[in-house]
Structures are given as C-alpha cells and as structure tokens.
Amino acid sequence: MGIHGTPEDGDYLIDNMLNWNCISLKREDVDEIYLYITKSTGIIIEK
C-alpha cells in the first residue's frame, strides 16, 4: 500500500475518488505533515 500526494492540480483525483488501492493526500495535507514525518515513520491505519 502506498501513501502519497497528488500531482500539481490533482486534488480532483481525491475528490472524485479516483484511486488505485492507495492512500492519496491532497497537496495541502502533504505540506502540513511533511515537517513532522520521515521515511521511516511508522503509521497505523484504522477503519
């Protein structure tokens, strides 16, 4: 499973639920968390 942002001007991909079994973040959300996480940061995905 991948977690990633969208291409520039690609937030519509999330708004229209076009994903490929991954977790896509809007660019503003990536910008918000970028300073707080590293490549090795562990995550827990809950329903």
Instruction: For residue range 6-39, list pLDDT tens digits in order.
Output: 888 888 777 776 556 788 888 889 899 888 888 8
- Mean per-residue pLDDT, 1-7: 81
Question: Would the pLDDT of 2 be above 70?
Answer: yes
Q: What is the pLDDT of residue 32?
A: 92
Does 43 reside within a domain?
no
Residue 19: predicted pLDDT: 58
Q: Which of 1, 46, 9, 47 is nearest to 26 (CA)?
A: 9
DSSP state of 11: T
Residue 44 in domain: no
Domain extent for 9: 3-36
Half-sphere exposure of 10 (CA within 13 A, CB side): 13
Assign 46 a pLDDT band (cuts: 50, 70, 90).
Answer: confident
Q: Is residue 47 part of a domain?
A: no
Q: How many angstroms separate the CA atoms of 9 and 37, rounded?
A: 23
pLDDT of 20? 66
